[in-house]
C-alpha cells in the first residue's frame, strides 16, 4: 500500500533533544527520502516548499504543527507512510 516508509519515531518525541535539534534532524531525514528527491520542484506540489522552507525554519511547535499537518496530508496522498510514534 505504501510507496515509501519514513520512520521518524526515534527523533519525533525524543525528550533529550531540543525543539531545534528535533526540527533539524527531521527535516534532514525528510530531505533524504525518495519522495522529496523525486518531487517536481518546478510545479507546485508542496513537498519542497513545506519541508525546505516552512518546517526547516519553524521557530516553535505551534508553527511546526501547522505545517506538519499539511505535510502529513500530502504524504497520505503520495502514499508515503510517516511514523512518529
User: What's the pLDDT score for residue 45?
Assistant: 72
* SS3 of residue 82 by DSSP: strand
Nearest 5°: the CA angle 56, 62, 67 is 50
Give the count of beta carbons closer than 10 Å to the beta carbon of residue 70: 14
User: What's the pLDDT score for residue 66?
Assistant: 96
pLDDT in tens, 12-67: 999 999 999 999 999 999 999 999 998 876 556 789 999 999 999 999 999 999 99
Closest CA to 83 of 2, 9, 3: 9
Phi and psi based region of residue 7 (left: phi greater than 0; alpha: psi -120 to 50; beta: remaining): beta
Question: The whole model's pTM is what?
Answer: 0.92
Amino acid at each position: 500500500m505504501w510507496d515509501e516508509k519514513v520512520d521518524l519515531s526515534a527523533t519525533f518525541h525524543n525528550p533529550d533533544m531540543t525543539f531545534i535539534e528535533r526540527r533539524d534532524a527531521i527535516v534532514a531525514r525528510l530531505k533524504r527520502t525518495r519522495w522529496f528527491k523525486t518531487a517536481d520542484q518546478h510545479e507546485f506540489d508542496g513537498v519542497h516548499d513545506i519541508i525546505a522552507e516552512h518546517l526547516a525554519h519553524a521557530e516553535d511547535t505551534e508553527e511546526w504543527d501547522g505545517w506538519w499537518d499539511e505535510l502529513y496530508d500530502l504524504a497520505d496522498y503520495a502514499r508515503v507512510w510517516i511514523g512518529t510514534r
